[in-house]
Chains A and B, each alone.
Chain A
Amino acid sequence: MTQDKDAAVLITLESIGVRRNGRPLVEGVSLTISRGEIVTLIGPNGSGKSTTARVVTGVLRPDEGRVTRKPGLSVGYVPQKLGIDWTLPLTVNRLMNLTARHKKSEVTHALEQVGAGHLGGAAVQTLSGGEFQRVLLARAMIGKPDLLVLDEPVQGVDFAGEVAIYELIGRIRDATQCGILMISHDLHVVMAETDTVICLNGHVCCRGTPELVAQSPEYLSLFGARAAPALAIYQHHHDHTHLPDGRVRAEDGSIHPGHAPHEHRDHDHA
């Protein structure tokens, strides 16, 4: 398995550090993203989530540490902020072809996948915040990149839409086996499909499965004990909960030791 895993590694950050005007933004951050893996960064404002994401995309070169990319790694990116000036006439269809040209059928298909199939001809400036986020997600994934970097992909999306987008991100991962680095806009909300949560505060506070991080003392001291019960983990399509001690609670409330019969949609526990 280890060898398979090495082959599937898309990018590795080894204790990277980024400084601005001598002040460290992040220090000693290490992470690995593999094919088919979803890694979520959480942390308070200014904790270095976006900085870390920008090192992953290659926009920012770290002052310390090492970044190793799979040769020819292709990246799809949803930036945190994207303001498109009114002076630029841009339809959704044209935006989809921004960095590469795609077939019309592919564009339609990608837009339909995010539930924006009807928006192709609309000017981007007329979209609502939620529509725009979905279009950006479709644009990032249309070229089937190896790695998707999503900086707060659900900002401005209402709760129902948020659940739908998280489901969609899970489906994209399942279908294309791309790696996904996601920054959660909401500290307390981490999608269930996440394999690894990394809690940042200038450095890595703690990491692990969502269930583990929610219980870790570092997380609790960073966000206060009151935050713990609020770390909502979307459980859609899951009929069970992983308890911190490794047992599993089924939907009916019964608790099973370890891996009782339950179904994981096709992500493995490697």
Chain B
Amino acid sequence: MLDDFFIRAVIAGIGLALVAGPLGCFIVWRRMAYFGDTMAHSALLGVALSFLFGVDLTLGVFAVGVLVALALLLLQRQESLSTDALLGILSHSALAVGLVLVAFMSWVRVDLIGFLFGDILAVSKSDIVAIYLGGALVIGLLIRFWRPLLAATVSTELAEAEGQRPEAMRALLMILMAVVIAIAMKLVGVLLITSLLIIPAATARRISLTPEQMGAYAGFIGVIAVVGGLEASRQWDTPSGPSIVVAALVLFAISLILPARLRPGANR
């Protein structure tokens, strides 16, 4: 069964969507969408550096993602520029430096388009193993730390006053994001990763009553987007990564026109 490239793509995509949904909820709740984008863009720099130093690609992307998150934390401490300006600088610098580095390395042939937009149809069995191992780790940590993660999201100050460690939770989220970006890059590409984190979560918001529901629904909505998008790309011969994002967008649009009574929480 796994010998069919399309089946492999579906299985890989489902694994990613199940992780990206719940994690994406935190990104939406904490208004970290632009931060996620920055980390995703830095993945290309990670690719370039991995080639340069001959290390494993996934590992290199993860490491650079964590470094960019640290750089942002340090720059934020200076209180000189607003966070969104800092993110704008980091995000596009990392992307540009990555592109320039790749161009310099004439000895490696890099499928740039593949890294920018992903190539889910090219996933190997070992990629699938990496996705499900990484995914299980992320989901496991999310479940283990769900309550303190949520408390830190609602109010850092309240969580800390009542004996929790919201700063550690913030660091944990950043690491989890770096993991997801590292495993998602091959599938949907650095430019589209954040859409898989954010669009299913935003779609789930309109039908959820509790944070836990929203996390679970976001995962399933992501799965529907992956299957639908891949099916559509086979049908109409469209690029697979962007097709998945378009499918997610369609689901989001449908959620917008849901009648109010189908949305719990809209009225008491």
Assembly CA distance A59 to B157 (angstroms): 7
Contact between A88 and B29, CB atoms less than 8 A apart:
yes
Q: Does A259 contact B (CB under 8 A)?
A: no
Q: Does B125 contact A (CB under 8 A)?
A: no
Among residues of B, the one whose C-beta sits closest to the C-beta of A72 is B163
By DSSP majority rule, is chain A's interface helix, strand, loop, or mixed? Answer: loop
The tally of CB-CB contacts under 8 A between chains A and B is: 83
Q: Does B246 contact A (CB under 8 A)?
A: no
Contact between A75 and B162, CB atoms less than 8 A apart:
yes
Closest Cβ–Cβ distance, residue B143 to chain A (whole Å): 14
Assembly CA distance A57 to B160 (angstroms): 8
Contact between B268 and A85, CB atoms less than 8 A apart:
no
Contact between A123 and B211, CB atoms less than 8 A apart:
no
Assembly CA distance A82 to B161 (angstroms): 14
A residues near B163, Cβ cutoff 8 Å: 74-75, 99
User: Known contacts being A82-B155, A90-B154, A91-B265, is A149 close to B161, with CB within 8 Å?
Assistant: yes
Contact between B209 and A89, CB atoms less than 8 A apart:
yes
Could you give, for residues 45-60 of chain A, a 1 whenever the CB lies within 8 Å of some chain B CB and a 0 otherwise?
A: 0000000001001110
Contact between A91 and B209, CB atoms less than 8 A apart:
yes
- Which of B8-16, B145-153, B228-236 is the contact stretch? B145-153
Contact between A79 and B155, CB atoms less than 8 A apart:
yes
Could you give, for residues 253-268 of chain B, a 1 whenever the CB lies within 8 Å of some chain A CB and a 0 otherwise?
A: 0000000000001011
User: Known contacts being A89-B211, A122-B268, is A58 close to B161, with CB within 8 Å?
Assistant: yes
Interface residues on B, range: 20 to 34
Question: Which of A58, A85, A98, A122 neighbours the largest number of chain B CB atoms within 10 Å of its CB?
Answer: A98
User: Known contacts being A89-B211, A89-B214, is A75 close to B29, with CB within 8 Å?
Assistant: no
A residues near B214, Cβ cutoff 8 Å: 89
Chain B contacts with A in 5-46, Cβ cutoff 8 A: 28-29, 31
Q: Does B210 contact A (CB under 8 A)?
A: yes
User: Known contacts being A74-B163, A123-B265, is A88 close to B211, with CB within 8 Å?
Assistant: yes
A residues near B238, Cβ cutoff 8 Å: none
Question: Which of A88, A122, A126 neighbours the largest number of chain B CB atoms within 10 Å of its CB?
Answer: A88
User: Known contacts being A75-B163, A89-B210, is A98 close to B157, with CB within 8 Å?
Assistant: no
User: Known contacts being A75-B162, A101-B147, is A90 close to B31, with CB within 8 Å?
Assistant: no
By DSSP majority rule, is chain B's interface helix, strand, loop, or mixed? Answer: helix
Closest Cβ–Cβ distance, residue B262 to chain A (whole Å): 14
Contact between A99 and B268, CB atoms less than 8 A apart:
no
Q: Does B50 contact A (CB under 8 A)?
A: no
Chain A contacts with B in 26-60, Cβ cutoff 8 A: 54, 57-59
Closest Cβ–Cβ distance, residue B207 to chain A (whole Å): 9
Contact between B161 and A87, CB atoms less than 8 A apart:
no
Contact between B205 and A99, CB atoms less than 8 A apart:
no
Contact between A90 and B211, CB atoms less than 8 A apart:
yes
Contact between B29 and A87, CB atoms less than 8 A apart:
yes
Partner of A85, one of B29, B148, B160, B265: B29
User: Known contacts being A89-B210, A90-B154, is A58 close to B160, with CB within 8 Å?
Assistant: yes
Contact between A90 and B210, CB atoms less than 8 A apart:
yes
Assembly CA distance A89 to B150 (angstroms): 11
Contact between B162 and A54, CB atoms less than 8 A apart:
no
User: Known contacts being A89-B208, A90-B211, A101-B147, is A75 close to B265, with CB within 8 Å?
Assistant: no
Assembly CA distance A76 to B151 (angstroms): 13
Closest Cβ–Cβ distance, residue A217 to chain B (whole Å): 35
B residues near A79, Cβ cutoff 8 Å: 155, 157-158, 161
Among residues of B, the one whose C-beta sits closest to the C-beta of A93 is B210
Q: Which 8 pairs, one residue from A and one from B, show the smallest C-beta to C-beta distance?
A: A57-B161, A77-B161, A123-B265, A89-B208, A99-B162, A88-B29, A59-B160, A99-B151
30 pairs across A/B with beta carbons < 8 Å?
A54-B157, A57-B157, A57-B160, A58-B161, A59-B160, A74-B163, A76-B162, A77-B158, A79-B155, A82-B154, A82-B155, A85-B29, A87-B28, A87-B202, A88-B154, A88-B211, A89-B209, A90-B211, A91-B209, A95-B154, A98-B147, A98-B150, A98-B154, A98-B158, A99-B148, A99-B151, A100-B147, A100-B162, A101-B147, A122-B268
Chain B residues within CB distance 8 Å of chain A: 28-29, 31, 147-148, 150-151, 153-155, 157-164, 202, 205, 208-211, 213-214, 265, 267-268
